Amino acid sequence: MTTIQNQFLEWPFFDDAHRDYAARFEAWVAAHHDPLACAGQTETEAVRAQARLLGAGGWLQALLPASLGGSREKVDVRTLCLTRDILARVSGLADCTFAMQGLGAVPIVLFGTPAQQRQYLPRMADGTCITGFCLSETEAGSDVSALQTGAKREGDRYVLNGRKTWISNAGVGHTFVVFARTGEAPGARGLSAFVVDADTPGFSVPQSIEVVAPHVIGTVAFDDCRVPASCMLGQPGEGFKVAMATLDVMRSTVGAAALGFARRALAEATAHVRTRKVFGQALAQFQATQMRIADMALDVETAALLVYRAAWTKDTLRDRVTLEASMAKLHATEAAQRVIDSAVQLLGGLGVTAGSTVERLYREIRPLRIYEGTSEIQKLIIGGQVLGK
Ligand SMILES: Cc1cc2nc3c(=O)[nH]c(=O)nc-3n(C[C@H](O)[C@H](O)[C@H](O)COP(=O)(O)OP(=O)(O)OC[C@H]3O[C@@H](n4cnc5c(N)ncnc54)[C@H](O)[C@@H]3O)c2cc1C
């Protein structure tokens, strides 16, 4: 994929270790392209295989700080973004597999007790423990404070009851970070987080959901699901804090995945317009095509700037990057949708032919404008931050 430009790695957001990491990971992904694409496997089989492959390659170590086996002192958001940027160029499902290991591991890194970290993180990092993040419910998507799943304390246990929906890895995951109402205060301040194994009695996956692009996702039910009180992550009532701190790490990486999709679409489009002849000349010779390519390139570069600015800010300046991460996620996902739509248009009929790369990208990008906070919610966050709310 030589048309994908990597000059962005020269930006001052990165150090030599990032450049080295990106080069090694890109080479590894190229060598493992087929297993990562997982042709001929069910989505569940593919997620299992990809998690093990990424784990065996050592790439999931990026989710851990040095004290727990990672290579950097703390979880490095630029490395996570580089990983998703590069993975998304070849496989949306592989990118999602990496992201879900992050959504399960990062809350345990940030809030887990040493015992929880010892129990889960090594297996999450070698890909043998597949994980997920159970926040959303039918009536509580954008509005997390409406969450109804309850966790009632009974002696040395909590009893969980309720239903979660749109839970990625439902049906394939071994362990989930689950958010439930413990009632310390009204709304978002009355939630707590738990680490729950999928084989706990009372935990079930009653339904899988088919979405536009390959993705293991479904509903998760808790019916008198009893977990030891030691499964709580953080303190009672800290669930919203756990969720937001995790999203502060992971939200920029959604933008990075969108960026990877957009880079691939731009590469596909530029390769096509150079060779496709219409009205006696290459499509690339027409100024209208050049202007469209310019818009696409501008969208890719501005997305990259915002994504890596947010990641660099988190890694080097301060812990809370709510504004920067929301801007990165909003702009990169919306820009990628535009870039991919343009690529489809430039490829003409080939662009909508099932199985073509840009057709796949067209389906893969869509959920990124919805999950981990819709574009509208990102605007509300950005507006609120700018207005000092
Ligand atoms: C592929 C995929 C994977 C997912 N994976 C997970 C997962 O692993 N774990 C998990 O917990 N959740 C997951 N989700 C759920 C996701 O986070 C929610 O779908 C998302 O937060 C939106 O919630 P909702 O679907 O209920 O939409 P709603 O909240 O009902 O929103 C519907 C529309 O209303 C808009 N809207 C909402 N509030 C406002 C407002 N105040 N002003 C203006 N517009 C507004 C929204 O932007 C949206 O356009 C996933 C979703 C998808 C699609």
287, 340: one domain: yes
192, 273: one domain: no
* Mean pLDDT (whole number) for 38-58: 93
258, 378: one domain: yes
Atom nearest to 373 CA in ligand 1: 21
In a domain, 364, yes or no: yes
In a domain, 101, yes or no: yes
Instruction: Give the torsion through C-alpha atoms of 197, 107, 118, 190, to 10 deg.
Output: -70
Query: How many independent structural domains does the chain possess?
Result: 3
Does 118 have pLDDT greater than 90? Answer: yes
The CATH number of residue 190's host domain is 2.40.110.10
What does the pLDDT look like over 292-327, one tens digit per residue? 999 999 999 999 999 999 999 999 999 999 999 999
CA 124, 101, 129, 104 torsion: positive or negative?
Answer: positive
In a domain, 2, yes or no: no
* Residue 330: its H or E element: helix 322-347
Asked whether 198 and 216 are in contact (CB, 8 A), the reply is no
212, 285: one domain: no
Question: Which of 85, 101, 130 lies at the terminal end of a domain, its last residue?
Answer: 130
If one residue of 43, 47, 137, 142 were mutated to test the ligand 1 pocket, choosing by the most ligand atoms within 8 A of its CB, it would be 142
Using a cut of 0.95, tell me whether the model's pTM lies above it.
yes
216, 304: one domain: no
Q: Identify the band that residue 4 occupies on the pLDDT scale cut at 50, 70 and 90.
A: low
What does the pLDDT look like over 218-247, one tens digit per residue? 999 999 999 999 999 999 999 999 999 999
Question: Which of 98, 130, 162 lies at the terminal end of a domain, its last residue?
Answer: 130
What does the pLDDT look like over 123-168, one tens digit per residue? 999 999 999 999 999 999 999 999 999 999 999 999 999 999 999 9
In a domain, 1, yes or no: no
Domain range for 160 is 132-239
142, 221: one domain: yes
263, 373: one domain: yes
Q: Atom 42 in ligand 1: which residue has the minimum CA distance?
A: 376
In a domain, 336, yes or no: yes
Q: Atom 25 in ligand 1: which residue has the minimum CA distance?
A: 141
Ligand 1 proximal residues by C-beta, below 6 Å: 132-136, 141-142, 166-168, 211, 215, 217, 367, 370-372, 374, 376-377, 380
Token match 């709510």: residue? 322
Q: Atom 24 in ligand 1: which residue has the minimum CA distance?
A: 141
